[in-house]
A and B are shown apart, each in its own frame.
Chain A
Amino acid sequence: MQLVLEKRAERSRTIALISPLIAIGLTLVTMSVLFAVLGKNPITALGVYFIAPLTDSYSLQEIAVKATPLVMIAIGLSLCYLANAWNIGAEGQFLIGAVAGSWIAVKTQGTEAGHWVLPAMLVAGAVAGALYALIPALCRVKFGASEILTSLMLVYVADLILDYLVRGPWRDPAGFNFPTTAEFDPVATVPVLIEGGRLHLGSIIALVVVACAFVLLDRTIKGFEIRVVGVAPRAARFGGFNSNQLVLLTFAVSGALAGLAGIIEVAGPIGHLQPGISPGYGFTAIIVAFLGRLNPVGILIAGLFLALTFIGGEQAQITMKIPLDVTKVFQGILLFYVLACDSLILYRFKLVFASRQVQSGAG
């Protein structure tokens, strides 16, 4: 008996719509088994993970706060992946954006600087992220070096740069030697939407980004070029599309979005620069991009779902003593199922028995 793939005549639209749901279903079943192995009641654990955070206003806001960077980064990554450019260093671009924006906040600290500070920080974050992403993109376009490896190596470098700055030149003198900058001034802070709440302006920016990406991909020539280069590079060449230019463009846009997400995270929910500002947003965003089928609206939903797993994971750790690593295992398994189910869009899975195989081999 053997598993055989049979190519469908055309992409299955039905399966394209339901495959993320199948993947989530399969992941939940797998997680139940894992919880049982860990000696926890699967039903209770799944409840804590996926239902409890939806029942109080604090957690709901927190989901939106966590989803904000995930959605922004994933939108950028989806453009790259559609154009067949593999940016997997969004985590590094996120950190560099946070560093560049924080530079303005640190330099204007305690001065009379006005309301231009926050916009300047956001711009600096986006520009720095874009420039940092252009390094691997240029290495690929000019020298043919694998952007997968270079963009990933730069994540470690960004992490060390941030670490150096907050332990060295930017350390808060009144911070008892902790590796952190001083709290940013009010003019350098992303404002919250509801007084006393956690939801901040960044979530609105993320929604705007989703809308822009939708228009770009669905209504413009550039968006069309990006998709053609990814699906049919040869056709794109005949069409006169410059694939190198698109690699640079998609990398720059995704770097800018990751950098913007980084500075928003630091100037918003965190309020100062410190090591460990990201629980792996740049990598989780890869899952968000695929779970959302590289589609802006899909990514918005997927981002909220994965944010839910972060919050649920924290609550499960507090109330049920389930290790935080379970969240990462969950995310990894989810990506596997998403990819496997996506295969169903292009192929039919068939089990073939040995005797039939011989016949078809002879025929």
Chain B
Amino acid sequence: MVLVEAIILSVLAASTPLLLAATGELVTERAGVLNLGVEGMMIVGAACGFGAAWLSGSIIVGALCGIIAGMLLSLIFAFMTLGLAVNQVATGLALTILGIGLSGLIGARFVGERITTAPHLYIPGLSDIPLVGRILFGEDAFVYLSLALIVAVWWFLYRTRAGLVLRACGDNHVSAHALGYPVLRIRMLAVLFGGGCAGLAGAYLPLAYTPFFIPGMTAGRGWIALALVVFASWRPGRLVIGAYLFGAVTILQLHAQGAGVGIPSQFMSALPYLATVIVLVLLSRARTGGSTAPAALGTVFVPDR
């Protein structure tokens, strides 16, 4: 029972960065922009977040710096793809390459340092309930924040006028423009939101998941987050399920490695990546009747005047 509780707790922790990054990317893609730079924004968020937390001694300052770092990087992306109409795929790759270099540069002096990770909630009584107590009432603040955020995003996309306009930009930018909506400005805000989420997701890793920073610590989570958005068919509800499923795969393979199953550890480590490929194939196949992707996803828009 203790083991089950421990596994569920670690699954929640492993899923949170995926959920945060994927939430941001979902909004970005719903506005019609494909930002492949999530991995780069995450790793810079991790480096800046850890650096700020170590210097200031505050997890909140660290998280804010992670968010700002992610937003700054996404601003470069927005300028390139929206302002200069550059190919989004290529720019996203450039952002990832730049991000990996920058994080190494920024994080170099913090490698080897440790911080105290974000505290877990404790409500006397509630958190002590056997089994569910710690799982429901004993997480760190980021876990609750990530869930609140995805609910807010769902409400925004499907229950507000602004959300409808954002989705319109993603489905048909020409019509949205003809109706007088500032397509590029809306897209820029969506890209900024995505960057902030990716930065926060990256910062979560050294602030709450492990108490230190190492170069390349995101280990492809940004790319998995991108795959999750496809997995979720661009819907917030399914995104939560997908993120927790992937978190579970990551944790279960770690436990299997620890238990010394007779399979080489490298094969277990490859599982989350292989699972991503298989899920992408199965889902894309099930969807042959018509794509659920935003229709204008990844296309360049230059308003005519």
Contact = CB atoms under 8 A, between A and B. Distances in A.
B264 A168 contact: yes
A149 B99 contact: no
Interface in B246-305: 264, 266-267, 269-270, 273-274, 276-277, 280-285, 287-288, 291, 302, 305
A347 B85 CA distance: 9
A3 B83 contact: yes
A149 B227 contact: yes
B145 interface: no
A86 interface: yes
Interface in A137-164: 139, 142-146, 148-150, 152-154, 156-157, 160-161, 163-164
Contact of A339 (B90, B102, B284): B90
Interface residues of B, number: 50
Main secondary structure of the interface of A (DSSP, over half): helix
B230 interface: yes
Interface in A207-248: none
A153 B223 contact: yes
B98 A329 contact: yes
Contact of B101 (A149, A154, A326, A349): A326
Contact of B102 (A139, A329, A340, A360): A329
A325 B94 contact: no
B163 interface: no
B153 interface: no
A332 B93 CA distance: 9
B100 interface: yes
B98 to A, nearest CB: 3
A342 interface: yes
B91 interface: yes
A148 B276 contact: no
A149 B284 contact: no
A5 interface: yes
Given A152-B220, A153-B227, A153-B277, 10 more contacts: A7-B302, A144-B285, A145-B277, A153-B276, A154-B273, A154-B277, A156-B219, A163-B266, A325-B105, A346-B85
Interface of A: 3-5, 7, 86, 88, 135, 139, 142-146, 148-150, 152-154, 156-157, 160-161, 163-164, 167-168, 283, 286-287, 290, 323-333, 335-336, 339-340, 342-343, 346-347, 349, 360-361
Interface of B: 36, 76, 80, 83-87, 89-91, 93-95, 97-102, 104-105, 108, 215, 219-220, 223, 226-227, 230, 264, 266-267, 269-270, 273-274, 276-277, 280-285, 287-288, 291, 302, 305
6 contacts: A5-B302, A163-B266, A168-B264, A328-B97, A333-B98, A335-B98
